[in-house]
Structure 1
Amino acid sequence: MSIVVKELKDVRPPLLWEPNAGPETDDFVKRKQANDQIPPVALQRVVFEAQQILGRCVDPTKGPEGATGLAVGYVQSGKTLSFTTLAALARDNGYGMVVLIAGVLDNLLKQTLTRLTADLNLAGGLARPWVLVDRPTPGKASATQLQQHLTKWSDPSLSPQKKRTVMVVVLKNHKRMGNLRACLKGLDLSAVPTLVIDDEADQASLNNFAYSNRRTGSNKKSTNYSEVTALKALLPHHTYVQYTATPQAPLLVGLSDALSPSFAELLSPGDGYVGGKVLFAPGARYSRAIPDEEADASLATSTDGPPSTLVDALRIFLLGACAVEESGKIAHRTMMVHPSHHTENHKDYQVWIADLVGAWRSMASNAALKDEFFEHFRRAHTDLAETVGNTLPSLEVLVGHMSYVLKTVNYREVNSTGPGSEPVDWSGCEYWILVGGAKLDRGFTVEGLTVTYMPRPMGVGNADNLQQRARFYGYKQKYVGYCRIYLRREVRDAFRNYVEHEEAIHESLRKTRGEALSKWNRQFTLDGAMNPTRRNVIGIPLEEVVASNWVHPKAAYVDRDCVEDNRQVFKDFIAQLGGLNNGVAANDVDPERYIDKRSGKKNILFENVSLETVIDGLLERLRMGDGDDAVQRVGCVLALRQLIKDGQTHADVFVIGELEPQNRSKKGKAINQVFQGKNPDTTDRTQLLYGGDRDFASASRVSLHLRAFNLLNANTRATEEKNVPWFAMHVPESLKKRLLIQAEGV
């Protein structure tokens, strides 16, 4: 069975080597297709992307070397499927060991271990080419088994059939990883090609002292980071592949860091995936705001019962479950309540839900009460009709199933202690309400999740941490109309804004796919209320650019070559616009807004210049000799590219004073005063001869100023530099963009 979408040899840039999909990959694909009903075309794409990832890893047939890579997907989009495919390919292509670092919580490790065992048939006996070693420990049978099989792999006298690939699963905990390292110590692993997969690689693996080390020059290492890097150092022939849906942290470690990825590959979500682009699209009706007073409610402070939005959410969820009953199908539907990472808050919601479900069970089966009771569901039914459409059964039909649904629904806490620590037995019930905190965060799979009620605040405002709460993403296109997300207003806005941030990262990685990430300048578009990731792991200096109001370089003159080049850029750009004669004096276009009654050179306006022309013909060509100004220029380009995606297409370009050089004094390298003010300085616009440079900007579009300066000595007023080109960009507040950009030369 040949599983390719296109030829690997056609991938650009070329792969280091071309992995083959052999019997383990083929069997895995057949198993997934039969058990999970995944379409063959979708599985072909997964295999092809895994081949590209493995093809950028070290070649198992060549001499020992090490590498680090990054695989980036979306939350709940199938990363486990991808790295399981990668493991199968590794076996088919001669890897002797696969190490899976499977999260920080035991429940997530067990969840992943169960999937791996089933998907790769790891428990299939002696005939299988795998040996599963779960959390090896020195002095235990697991260590002996691991060592014996790795020793066999290094024995050239044994046939390939006698060499089974060792699948090692270990918790992302420094003691557990230290145990694995102790089991491997002393073995000759130079002939054992190894694939290390770090699931949720942005969490707990990176050095928590990176930021302070960069500032102080020290070399402190956090415990997990020490163990991961020590494991890499122990493996002469390996690739460490980081899997994550939130790559900000791995991308922002220092470029010389052992965990800095040398390449990145993107994972495509399959058909039917529903993410932020759907749920938080402009005008989408899937999210609802929880008022602050309800989000902060508790049993101790609330005298009117549970928050009204919680009651609304529960009604929406129950009607969705009734719709499943009406369809005649058997499927899970789950409501997730995620109030806080503090377990004491969970008990309040557990009480409220228990009281509501208990009371409603009685009312739904009471002939005297049920009509009035069901009438309270009418608003929820109208709400669902907005997204489900004409296929939504009538309220009368749905509530006919309510008694059964209320008798069936199971509600429980999901925590790390007490009864909440027990695994969810999905096979025991089709309808669930889960109340929890951290265990419902990253990596936890919720079957058939339709309604999320999350009154948690923003917290510290790290973008990657917030996105990992999005358990409400996933493959749910078939029932997305029944999905609702209840969030605090500022959290909902953050999720909406994250969509832009996430797509910008993916687009940048797509453009540099397969190329050395050390050459890629990190650039992030980010909401003003958030940071890309936790500061302590950031090893790359970032500069912040806020593209709002006026943005311009500070140092108009750095070196003569730079100035001469920029003069030519201005000349070419104005020629591209048709020359100055093709523009119009701004005061003739709008004399009330652009006041200029002076004699002499005018400010020439070119309206509706395409942003692409501004980027390609001007900003991308300008040279900034000063580092801060170089960051500003990149920020301007990034802001305009993002505005194009947002639907903004044109800008207004003003050539100030017809590009006649104006005199300005210098303060160091910078211009002392850039903008000419009003003349005279009065608030009565009818008295103005000139409204001031800052007035020459559109209220609704981006505006560019092009001008030239003669730079004067601040003390002697003698001209030191002539005809120095200079630009400024104005972005209206409504189009504001915040960008984080890697400092040049880093």
Structure 2
Amino acid sequence: MTMIDQKAFDAVLSMAQKLLLVNAGEAGTAITPAMIEQQLDMLATIMPAQFAVIDREALVDELIRRASQRVGTNATLKDTGDHIDWLNADRKKDWHYWRRYHEYMDTKIPWKALEALDGATDEVLSQLEDPDRQGSWDRRGLVVGHVQSGKTANYTGLICKAADSGYKIIIVLAGLHNNLRSQTQIRLDEGFLGFATLANTDHLPAIGVGLIDTDHSTRPNYATNRSENGDFNKQMAARLGVSPEQRPWLFVVKKNKTVLERLLFWIRNRVANHTDPVTGRKLVTNLPLLIIDDEADHGSVDTGENVVDEFGNPDTEHNPTVLNQLIRSILHHFSRKAYVGYTATPFANIFIHDKGQTEEHGPDLFPSSFITSLAAPSNYIGPGRVFGSTSSTPDNLPLVRQLKEEEYGPWIPQKHKNGFRPTWRGEAQIPDSMAEAIRSFILACAVRKLRGQGTRHSSMLIHVSRFTSVQSEVVTQVGEHLRTLRGRFARGIDLADTEALMREDYLQRFLPGMMRIRDGLTPDEPHSADFTWEEVREVLADVISDIKVREINGSAKDALDYAENEATGLKVIAVGGDKLARGLTLEGLCTSYFLRTARMYDTLMQMGRWFGYRDGYLDCCRLYTTSEMIEWFGHIADAAEELRQEFDNMVAAGATPKQFGLRVRSHSVLTVTSRSKMRNARPMHLTFSGDLLQTIVFLPRKQDVEANFDAGEHLLSSLGSALRPDEQRFLPASGANWKGHFWRDVPAPNVTSFLRAYRTHPASFRVVSPLLADFIDEMNKDGELTDWTVALIGGGEDMASIAGLEVNQMKRGAVQSEPMDRYSIKTLISPRDQAIDLTEAEWRAALSLTQKTWRGDKDRDQDATPPDEPRGGAVRRVLGFGAPEDGVESRRERGLLMLYLLDPAHCKIKELEVGKPILAWAISFPGSPSERRVSNADYMGNSVMWGAMNDWVD
């Protein structure tokens, strides 16, 4: 499309979806393709000029896509102390900045996502204080989203509403680098200011919301601009003054010592209007402040030691780290202020000490007022859908191409030093695996062009080293490879072999991969068109000629100039390190080649630039990475899901952020976040209370499989006669729902003997059989976990026998073929398994809690409609703590051991494919407030948990 065509397309799209919403609302029905066609027929008579220059079929596809999407529900933990409810319909009547931002976003995101954005920003704003409220107040919160899920759009909407409500000074802390700050400024120029904050000019052209609202009298004020060096500077500080009656001021600043010191100096000397008679601290009492802290876990957290003394009281003489103290000092100089951190990786923020406070800097940034967890729209592609998790479906989207060591190691080893020069087959050239990835990117751009997305941005990420010197060498090699391809396709010289390779790649690898990805989509997700090789070949030369290579790091001068290429779409291969690892958005990211081996949850997750929205080209996306990274990201997905489940449970219990005793799963290689950010966290003795543990990694040796099978056979032989599934205490309307056998009231020693005999894989992380046996022994001392239910659960078609019992073998395909020292599966149990042999009251209480905490978040494998069966987390909580409102008492004496036989034919290890089934198991532990632990520091706990934990280890 040309620039004019895109405008026409957006105009028709906006009008069509408004009419569809009205008509569907009046009819009380869902939007259907027939309804879309009917509305477009009517619009075609009203807007003939626009319809003459647009692709109607593409418009229909876009409207169907938007109609099919949904958004889950958010959840908020809050503390209402010293907070007055204030946000109501009357306060929204004269909103101006939000109204135009809403209209601006109308064509950019589906209407359901726009409704969710409206609701989420209202929810956050309502937790802040009324800016018109007099006196002193201080609200501090945290908004937790998903990586690359639209946090910028969320806080832009919040800024618009806060400005409409009366907040006068709005400071956005936008990362640590100039290019990220500039990117954020550009987004806020478009969504809030309405004009391009160009440097060294008096002409500021209208953009974004400014094209909707041409009244310059309502323009907000700005103190920073969109240039790389447009941060708050001495010249601005010297001439800038504000007064209460002025329109709101926007500051977009880096988290940088010099910049924040300059801003703090300006506040003290140019803005403060009052001096505290007791402390002598200069205060701003007439201008309410809102600070938005983007990537709040990065740079803002106090990593200093001794925040509190040995008695848990705040050390008022404590000296926070520089950025933390400057942010806190800015807040401390305002009597009316609100701080909202935004992050997708809240691990570091969880470890902020809730009692941290000093006289000079005020309270620490612990989100004491509220924590809001945002649900992602159904078209969001996050860790759960890319890598799966043990709590979700095993059918994650096949986007990942696993790299073997020999495909990249000789070129750039995992451990290398600054100045290293990568070579492949003795030459300074990229390896074959990267050449394949670049071909994937070229094919993705070609397919997108054929689908009418040629003017949209398309990006490739290459992230293989943290050293800028190595990145520069990679840029040179990638550039040379691309020049060779460009020359061959442009001149037709030496093209035959290259063209044949591209053809084979498309027909044998890329196209089948697209089909497999689309097979993994649900029926409500639109499926895109395919093209013949001849159609793809026709556009290859143009596509290759458009691709640029950019080096994005602290040394290079390259920039991702998406805004300057809005009309034609930027096609870019971005090579970089830290600047690509956090915050910086790669528009239209199709292909990633990723070898970076950071070992921290938050750093790794932020490096996942491939998460986000890929509407219309998801099937073109590919991630090239190592087996180790695949395993780590799968574990991170589990850790993030566990955190969200615990959060949902606490919301259901009406807890406050300070009562939120979070636990974050640890990894044997990964750390939760940097050690410095965890100074307020201590290694804990381990509890498994409230957890589900399941074996998903198995030893590859036949003797180990046979030993484990024998251990299970010995256990089952000792239990006596088995019960049938229809002999459970309660059968739901749908019947038994599982096949197999079970036993009640099994003594704990039978279970612990089995666990001590079972051989778990060293890579099982937390699932260590002897350790679990020790934990059960510890809990037995208090009368907990003494009586067990043991279930032998079948699935699939082929039968097998154990201890004289017939059961169906489960089919669980191997997650990966490398490394060959294990057989790994994605998940073992089915959601209903943990509800085995519950009483009717327990079953219904667990179902009620399941539905109460259901968010409809697709990345968490949650449908729009809550399930009609209880899920495991709710079962474990009800058994551990009861449900007094439902007349259910706790049953902490009851543990559940589930046994499964896996069909060895699917393990991809020849030694095991013929022989005994692979015995797998899962244990469901009820929740418990018990302080009994076993000595293994697999969890890290935040300061909120300290009061209940007296068994810290050094």
Q: Report if TM-score (shorter chain) is over 0.5.
A: yes
Offset of 1:213 from its aligned partner?
A: 7.3
From 184, 191, 210, give the equivalent of 2:267.
184
Offset of 1:102 from its aligned partner?
A: 1.2
Aligned mates of 2:804, 2:113 — CA distance in 1? 60
- Opposite residue 372 of structure 2, the aligned amino acid is E
Aligned mates of 2:458, 2:323 — CA distance in 1? 37
Offset of 1:349 from its aligned partner?
A: 1.9
- Opposite residue 200 of structure 1, the aligned amino acid is E
Offset of 1:227 from its aligned partner?
A: 0.6
* Match of residue 114 from structure 2: 43
DSSP-derived class of the 2:478 partner: helix
From 347, 353, 366, give the equivalent of 1:248.
347
Offset of 1:326 from its aligned partner?
A: 2.3
Tell me if 1:25 matches 2:84: no
- Opposite residue 350 of structure 2, the aligned amino acid is L
Q: Give the % identical residues.
A: 20
- Residue by residue over 1:721-746, the C-alpha shift from the partner in whole angstroms, topping out at 9 and shown as x without a partner, is xxxx99999xxxxxx99544455516
Tell me if 1:549 matches 2:796: no
Tell me if 1:439 matches 2:579: yes
Tell me if 1:128 matches 2:218: yes
DSSP-derived class of the 1:532 partner: coil
* Match of residue 514 from structure 2: 388
Aligned mates of 1:320, 1:253 — CA distance in 2? 43
From 643, 647, 661, give the equivalent of 1:521.
661
Quick one: structure 1 residues 121 and 138, their matched pair in 2 at CA, closer, same or farther if it must change by over 3 Å?
closer
Aligned mates of 2:333, 2:940 — CA distance in 1? 36
Tell me if 1:315 matches 2:439: yes
- Opposite residue 67 of structure 1, the aligned amino acid is R
- Residue by residue over 1:318-361, the C-alpha shift from the partner in whole angstroms, topping out at 9 and shown as x without a partner, is 11111123234422222111121211111232222222222222
* Match of residue 365 from structure 2: 259
Deviates more, 1:68-77 or 1:208-217: 208-217
Where do 5+ consecutive residues of structure 1 fail to align?
A: 154-161, 579-588, 593-607, 619-643, 651-697, 707-724, 730-735
Offset of 1:558 from its aligned partner?
A: 11
Tell me if 1:269 matches 2:376: yes
- Opposite residue 500 of structure 1, the aligned amino acid is D
- Residue by residue over 1:597-655, the C-alpha shift from the partner in whole angstroms, topping out at 9 and shown as x without a partner, is xxxxxxxxxxx99534699999xxxxxxxxxxxxxxxxxxxxxxxxx9799999xxxxx
Quick one: structure 1 residues 215 and 286, their matched pair in 2 at CA, closer, same or farther if it must change by over 3 Å?
farther
Quick one: structure 1 residues 294 and 649, their matched pair in 2 at CA, closer, same or farther if it must change by over 3 Å?
farther
- In the alignment, is the contact (CA less than 8 A) between 1:323 and 1:393 conserved in 2? yes
* Match of residue 700 from structure 1: 920
- Opposite residue 185 of structure 2, the aligned amino acid is L
- In the alignment, is the contact (CA less than 8 A) between 2:170 and 2:248 conserved in 1? yes
- In the alignment, is the contact (CA less than 8 A) between 1:122 and 1:132 conserved in 2? no
DSSP-derived class of the 2:947 partner: coil
Tell me if 1:611 matches 2:694: no
Aligned mates of 1:234, 1:728 — CA distance in 2? 45
* Match of residue 491 from structure 1: 629
From 402, 405, 410, give the equivalent of 1:292.
405
- In the alignment, is the contact (CA less than 8 A) between 1:264 and 1:509 conserved in 2? no
Aligned mates of 2:366, 2:586 — CA distance in 1? 32
DSSP-derived class of the 1:44 partner: helix
Tell me if 1:209 matches 2:304: yes
DSSP-derived class of the 2:465 partner: coil
Deviates more, 1:129-138 or 1:64-73: 129-138
Deviates more, 1:335-344 or 1:135-144: 135-144
- Opposite residue 261 of structure 1, the aligned amino acid is P
- In the alignment, is the contact (CA less than 8 A) between 1:136 and 1:180 conserved in 2? no
TM-score, structure 1 normalization:
0.71
TM-score, structure 2 normalization:
0.57
DSSP-derived class of the 2:920 partner: coil
- In the alignment, is the contact (CA less than 8 A) between 1:289 and 1:487 conserved in 2? yes
Tell me if 1:540 matches 2:540: no
Aligned mates of 2:778, 2:645 — CA distance in 1? 34
- Residue by residue over 1:359-385, the C-alpha shift from the partner in whole angstroms, topping out at 9 and shown as x without a partner, is 222332455743432221244323222
Offset of 1:488 from its aligned partner?
A: 2.1
* Match of residue 414 from structure 1: 552
* Match of residue 733 from structure 1: none
Offset of 1:412 from its aligned partner?
A: 2.2
DSSP-derived class of the 2:617 partner: helix
Offset of 1:272 from its aligned partner?
A: 2.3
- Opposite residue 308 of structure 1, the aligned amino acid is D
- Opposite residue 658 of structure 2, the aligned amino acid is S
DSSP-derived class of the 1:468 partner: helix
From 485, 491, 503, give the equivalent of 1:360.
485
Quick one: structure 1 residues 269 and 293, their matched pair in 2 at CA, closer, same or farther if it must change by over 3 Å?
same
Quick one: structure 1 residues 705 and 269, their matched pair in 2 at CA, closer, same or farther if it must change by over 3 Å?
closer
DSSP-derived class of the 2:250 partner: strand
Quick one: structure 1 residues 704 and 430, their matched pair in 2 at CA, closer, same or farther if it must change by over 3 Å?
closer
DSSP-derived class of the 2:590 partner: strand
* Match of residue 475 from structure 2: 350
- Residue by residue over 1:637-689, the C-alpha shift from the partner in whole angstroms, topping out at 9 and shown as x without a partner, is xxxxxxx9799999xxxxxxxxxxxxxxxxxxxxxxxxxxxxxxxxxxxxxxx
Aligned mates of 1:534, 1:237 — CA distance in 2? 33
- In the alignment, is the contact (CA less than 8 A) between 2:86 and 2:126 conserved in 1? yes
Tell me if 1:463 matches 2:601: yes
Offset of 1:207 from its aligned partner?
A: 1.1
Aligned mates of 1:480, 1:445 — CA distance in 2? 17
- Opposite residue 45 of structure 1, the aligned amino acid is A
- Opposite residue 343 of structure 1, the aligned amino acid is T
- In the alignment, is the contact (CA less than 8 A) between 2:273 and 2:286 conserved in 1? no
- Residue by residue over 1:385-444, the C-alpha shift from the partner in whole angstroms, topping out at 9 and shown as x without a partner, is 234228331223212211111222111212222433685654465321111112212111
* Match of residue 118 from structure 1: 190
DSSP-derived class of the 2:218 partner: coil
Aligned mates of 1:728, 1:614 — CA distance in 2? 27
Aligned mates of 2:941, 2:466 — CA distance in 1? 32
- In the alignment, is the contact (CA less than 8 A) between 2:514 and 2:620 conserved in 1? yes
Quick one: structure 1 residues 369 and 548, their matched pair in 2 at CA, closer, same or farther if it must change by over 3 Å?
same
- In the alignment, is the contact (CA less than 8 A) between 2:101 and 2:160 conserved in 1? yes
- In the alignment, is the contact (CA less than 8 A) between 2:666 and 2:672 conserved in 1? yes
Aligned mates of 2:422, 2:143 — CA distance in 1? 46
Question: Would you say how many aligned residue pairs link Structure 1 and Structure 2?
Answer: 599
Aligned mates of 2:633, 2:310 — CA distance in 1? 32
Offset of 1:48 from its aligned partner?
A: 1.0
Where do 5+ consecutive residues of structure 2 fail to align?
A: 1-17, 19-69, 196-209, 225-229, 275-283, 357-363, 389-393, 413-420, 516-527, 688-765, 792-801, 806-830, 843-869, 877-917, 949-954
DSSP-derived class of the 1:42 partner: helix
Aligned mates of 2:285, 2:438 — CA distance in 1? 57
- Residue by residue over 1:555-574, the C-alpha shift from the partner in whole angstroms, topping out at 9 and shown as x without a partner, is 97999xx95xx48x96xx78
- In the alignment, is the contact (CA less than 8 A) between 1:71 and 1:265 conserved in 2? yes
Tell me if 1:96 matches 2:171: no
Aligned mates of 1:448, 1:380 — CA distance in 2? 22
- Opposite residue 97 of structure 2, the aligned amino acid is E
RMSD: 4.3
Aligned mates of 1:645, 1:439 — CA distance in 2? 40
* Match of residue 680 from structure 1: none
Matches within 5 A, 1:622-641: none
* Match of residue 157 from structure 1: none
- In the alignment, is the contact (CA less than 8 A) between 2:461 and 2:575 conserved in 1? yes
Offset of 1:18 from its aligned partner?
A: 2.2
Quick one: structure 1 residues 398 and 184, their matched pair in 2 at CA, closer, same or farther if it must change by over 3 Å?
same
Offset of 1:138 from its aligned partner?
A: 8.2
Offset of 1:179 from its aligned partner?
A: 1.2
- Residue by residue over 1:270-290, the C-alpha shift from the partner in whole angstroms, topping out at 9 and shown as x without a partner, is 342211122223453211223
- Opposite residue 349 of structure 2, the aligned amino acid is P
- Opposite residue 332 of structure 1, the aligned amino acid is H
Deviates more, 1:339-348 or 1:360-369: 360-369
DSSP-derived class of the 1:398 partner: helix
Aligned mates of 2:940, 2:486 — CA distance in 1? 53
Offset of 1:144 from its aligned partner?
A: 4.1
